[in-house]
Structures are given as C-alpha cells and as structure tokens.
Structure 1
C-alpha cells in the first residue's frame, strides 16, 4: 500500500487535489481518482492536479489534469493558478514567471506582487478541426456560430479551444439557464468527438459577463478558467464584447479578469486568485 501526500486547493471554488509528483512517486493508473473525488466518501474535488518534472529543456514543470471521473484532460485555467501557488509555497521554484508543459500546450503563469496570478493561456484555436468539432458542412468549418440540434431544439454555439474544447451559448439570464440538462446533452453530442465543456454566458456590458460552465467529466463547477477565456473570445468575435479593455467574468465562485485582442497573434491572459485549503495524506 502507498501513502500519498496532497494539498487541497481552490480557485474561485473550483477545487483540486494537488499532488507533488517530483518529491514523491505517484502511480496514476493505480490511484482511485474517482473515489477520491467523491464529496461524501472521499476528499472531494473537481480535478486532481499532478506536478511532474518538465520533459523539455525550456520547461520548468509538467502539469497533468485528471477530472473527477478519472479521465485525463488537456488544460485547466483555475488549476494553473493553483499550480503556481503550490510550487511557490512548497519551495519548488523561486521564479515568479513559470514555463509549464501541459497536454494542451505550453502555458506561462505569473505570480503578481498583489498575490493574484496571471496565466498566459496562449492563442485560442477556432477552426472546427482544432476544437475538435464536426460541422454539418465544410462551409461551416470556420463559422462564428454553429447550430447543434438537441432533441427538438436548435442551439447556436460558438466553439473555442483553449487547450481544451468549449462550446459557448449566449443566454438572456444565466441563473435560469438549463445548465445541468443542456450542458450534459451538448457535452456528449456526437459532433464533439472528444466531448466538450459547455459555457452559458450572459452579457451585462461590453466588458462584463456572467458565466456558468458545465465541465466534461465533472458537471457544473463553481468556476472554470478556460471556460472564462473561451467565453470572452467568443463574445469578442461575435461583437457583443469589447477587446479594448479587459473583460470581467463573474462565475459562481467569484470573478476572473480576461484580456484578449481579436487578432491571430494575440494570447489570452487570465488573472484571478488561488488559495490553499488544507494538507492531507491518503493511502491507496
């Protein structure tokens, strides 16, 4: 039997079991991640974050993400901020700007002087094959909006990949949106071969939105960093948000600030908090 040390953390209520895989061994294939994620009988979390040594000379660390159902995914924005807090508090680095390898590509998070964390999430991917998304026709491959048929409804969505796939829906009132039912239906829709995260966005002003996100393999979370990035990118491309000033994104767990200029070379910048909750050990 193995004993594993971990840290419970959260970014705006999106919570994580964070594991140092540099100073201790961790066998992900043997770990009962979905059992640990259970909020009644386990540790309780949305994702498990694993910190490992970098695999390239340019990287400082490698960062892996496992959903509550045990599936490994490409990217997690709130997790990236917790990652920075963790490696700093644990003395794994003295750097304030860190180059991190993820399955979704390189990200560069930065610890700010005021304690907030800004993550360079890279450039959004917008083409259908990059989401990935199967459009009805080749003409629709680069469309700003796509129509997804769910039952008897035709749902307009904007597709963005922020290291992981997102479908963004603009709604009149996010509090009344059918996040659980429609989110689950679109998450596993056959036009999304790797499933998809589903964001429900209410536009309050050109620089302020409310957002709820149904995350694949998890369900609705209190906050989703990549979801906030995807929603702002979608909103700017649709012309309902402004790219001159940062956009404030109000999630159920709190606020993120997202910056993106609407051009092919612009990176998405996400700023927000991260906090440690407690330390623990678990046997497996």
Structure 2
C-alpha cells in the first residue's frame, strides 16, 4: 500500500522524512511567501480543530475554512477567510489555482454531496501538488514539522542497513565574541556527517544548547585547520569573522596548533590569524579577512557597476541608500541616524530576500558616531538579528571609508549590541578584524 519509514533524531525530523517520502509537498511560511491552509471538518471534529487552527495561525499560515468550521475557529479570535462549499461555488478552485492554498485538512461529512465535493477537490489538489490530509493527527504532526524548520537540505540521510544501535554522544564547546555565540564541535575525526541537522536541533535557546549557529573544526590539507559554519536554518555560511577567531582560540588553548600565527581554511578561502594571549590562553585575535570585493555582480547582486556605493534602491516599497561589500559574505550597508529605531525584525527579511540579491544578503544599519567610531545593528541571512557580526563590522567600515566617513589604515571601533570590534581597512584593499574570543561552557549532547 506504499508505506514509508522516516528515521530521525527527533519525532519531527522522522515525520518530515516520512511525509516527504510519501509524496507530500511541504511549504514553510515566510515574509516572502504566504502559505495557506484550508479547513473543512465535520461537527464532531470542530472542538479538536481549535487547537490545530491556533497552531497553524501562530506559525503564520493564512487560514481558510468553510462557514461552519470558520465560525468555530473565530471563537479563538483567529482571522479566517470563509470559503463556500464546492457544491455552492468554485472559489476553492480559484484559490488553489492562484497558489493561495498549500494544505487542505478535510474530515467532512459522509453524505453524497460532501463526498463528491471531496473527490473533485482532491483531484484538483493532486493535479496542483497540494498536500491533502484527512486525519487531524497527521495535520497536527504537519504543524509540528513546520515549526521545527526541517527541510530537504538540512535532514540527515540514513543508511537503513547500518543503523546506530544507540545515540551518539558529542562533546561541544560554547564560545562567543561580542555575544555572537556558536556551538563548536571538534570534527577532526569526521564523525559528524550532517551538521545541517545538528544546527536545527541544537541552536534553539529553549529546546537546545542555544546559539547563533554551529561551527565544525576539521582537518585541512591546505591550512592548520578548517572551519565550517551552519546557520539556524541549517544553511552553510561561507565565513564568520567572530567564529573564526573562536576557532583559533580553541586550537591554541587545547594544544592542537601551537603557534600564534595560524591559517584556517573556510569556504571563502584561507584566512591568516594573529593570536594575542594572556596567562597562556588566547584573549583576542586579529584575522586578515582578505580584500573587500566591491563589484556589484561579484557580491553577488543584480545591481550593475564596478562598485555599488551610495546607490538608491527600493526595498519593501521604501527607498534606501546602500553600499554593497563582500568580505567572505555578502553585505548591504545602510547608513542612518537612529539605528535603534530601525524595525529590524520586519525590515531585515525584506532585505535578505530582496530580488537584488540572488543568494540573499546580510544587512547592516550603521550610524557614524565620528571618523573613528561606528554603531551597528545587523540582520544575518539565515539567522536574523544577532548581537554582533564580524564580517558585518568589516563591511560597515569598508562602506564608511568609501562614503568618506572614515579613513583607510586607521583602526575603527564598531560598536555592536554585544560589545566592540576593531576594523582596519587597509589602502591595499585588505580588511583586518580584531576582537575578543571567549569560552562560555562545554558539555556533551546526544544525537
């Protein structure tokens, strides 16, 4: 009958794999894409539908329902779009055709009219690839999966012929710089094969260890070590200025690399680091971030020009003056007078997913305090607002120099919400980032 088996470290991951393997199309709501769910349930299910509808509403889905079901859901104060039964009007077909409906939850009556409605609707849903559920238990599981943020890029592939008999224990170290905190795993033995899944499970500050992402420290054939970083959504980042300094501290403090000048491989290339110690332990680190990339297409961006400096663009219906810089990661810098007044939770995603940036973008809102001091807030792609961002601080200083606010070959203090970072934009185009690196705690987790 086509049964499938989903295996995961959590029930949500296992359910996700099972539903996807069964052919379900799963969509996650975002500021860039509205996701809708259509409810029509029989009378005995209307009490149970309340909790389910609240789950979907809290997750940001738009709720559609037939009149009786809609009236029940509205008792919780949830906004519902009422849709006529298919036998009375074909509005549901129009909504499906327009991409407004992504999920259908149906436990309708068993009279012939209702059955005929379901057959027609289900057939139309199959043609459009819309997930249709006839069990409230499965619909509840679907809501839990959406909340868990699992997708096909961050779940672990399992060899069913070589299943683990027990959970694997992993040692970790929690480290931070200016409040930009990551969970670090020593993966020199290559035991971790699906870090994307670990990021989803462990970065949650309530149900996991908590952090802005995870970092793997691995062997390298071309440098002293290799760093791989993964964001909260499981996506892999190319470079992290704060994280790489913490990696250097870990390598030195644990006697893995016994030198104060070391190299670390990243997806953005090999970075050179200088370590400063106190009582035999690393207290701060300078990292050569390489040369800043300013070409619009190399950011990457759809904006033309050898540089994109002080360019006016429209984001979310509002005009902004921006400068684009890539220092291992792409950044969009916006200078403004009141960075604390920026509604970053709403504006940040609009920039991240703006059509100008095919690989998404990190965005900094920066106030020039004086020619040697900047104040910055940052929205990181895949993470949201963080207390600090090393590459963001570097990009902000480059943008400030290009805009005439600061000078080359001078140390510029960038004040972020978690502390201070020092950035020097050299006349030869290189960017040097300096800041502290701190170990918070260490422990063991199972997966």
Does the TM-score normalized on the shorter chain lie above 0.5?
Answer: yes
1:49-88, CA deviations, whole angstroms, 9 ceiling, x for partnerless residues? 11111132xx111111100111101000010111111111
Structure 2 runs not aligned, ≥5 long: 1-166
8 Å Cα contact 2:294-2:308 kept in structure 1: no
**3-state DSSP of counterpart to 2:261:** coil
Partner of 1:6: 172
Superposition deviation, residue 147 in structure 1: 2.6
Q: 1:23 to 1:182 in 2, by over 3 A?
A: same
Superposition deviation, residue 146 in structure 1: 2.6
**3-state DSSP of counterpart to 1:203:** strand
Taking the aligned partners of 1:186 and 1:193, their CA distance within structure 2 comes to 11
User: Could you state the TM-score of these two structures normalised by the residue count of structure 1?
Assistant: 0.93
Q: 1:127 to 1:254 in 2, by over 3 A?
A: same
Taking the aligned partners of 2:306 and 2:316, their CA distance within structure 1 comes to 23
1:123 pairs, out of 272, 291, 296, with 291
User: Could you state the TM-score of these two structures normalised by the residue count of structure 2?
Assistant: 0.60
Paired residues, number: 277
**3-state DSSP of counterpart to 1:122:** strand
Superposition map of 1:167-206 within 5 A: 167-206=332-371
Superposition map of 1:260-279 within 5 A: 260-261=425-426, 263=427, 265-279=428-442
Q: 1:86 to 1:218 in 2, by over 3 A?
A: same
Taking the aligned partners of 2:311 and 2:168, their CA distance within structure 1 comes to 48
Superposition deviation, residue 224 in structure 1: 0.4
Q: 1:244 to 1:116 in 2, by over 3 A?
A: same
Partner of 2:149: none
> Which moved further from structure 2: 12-21 or 177-186?
177-186
Q: 1:260 to 1:191 in 2, by over 3 A?
A: same
Partner of 1:281: 444
- Higher share in strand: 1
2:245 is equivalent to residue 81 of structure 1: yes
Superposition deviation, residue 24 in structure 1: 6.0
Partner of 1:104: 268
**Which 4+ stretches in 1 moved above 6 angstroms?**
none
> Which moved further from structure 2: 69-78 or 176-185?
176-185
Superposition deviation, residue 244 in structure 1: 4.4
8 Å Cα contact 1:117-1:274 kept in structure 2: yes
1:55 pairs, out of 221, 225, 240, with 221
Taking the aligned partners of 2:354 and 2:439, their CA distance within structure 1 comes to 36
- Higher share in helix: 2
2:404 is equivalent to residue 239 of structure 1: yes
2:202 is equivalent to residue 36 of structure 1: yes
1:126-181, CA deviations, whole angstroms, 9 ceiling, x for partnerless residues? 0012110101xx4x452312333123211111000010100000010111122221
Taking the aligned partners of 1:244 and 1:75, their CA distance within structure 2 comes to 23
8 Å Cα contact 1:99-1:108 kept in structure 2: yes
Partner of 1:216: 381
Q: Higher relative CO (CA 8 A, sep ≥ 6), structure 1 or 2?
A: 1
1:225 pairs, out of 375, 390, 410, with 390
**3-state DSSP of counterpart to 2:244:** helix
Structure 1 runs not aligned, ≥5 long: none
1:99-128, CA deviations, whole angstroms, 9 ceiling, x for partnerless residues? 111001111111114522111111110001
**3-state DSSP of counterpart to 2:354:** coil
8 Å Cα contact 1:171-1:177 kept in structure 2: no
8 Å Cα contact 1:207-1:247 kept in structure 2: yes
**3-state DSSP of counterpart to 1:130:** coil
Partner of 1:45: 211
**3-state DSSP of counterpart to 1:220:** strand
Taking the aligned partners of 2:445 and 2:341, their CA distance within structure 1 comes to 39
8 Å Cα contact 2:175-2:184 kept in structure 1: yes
**3-state DSSP of counterpart to 1:33:** helix
Taking the aligned partners of 2:315 and 2:409, their CA distance within structure 1 comes to 35
Partner of 1:155: 320
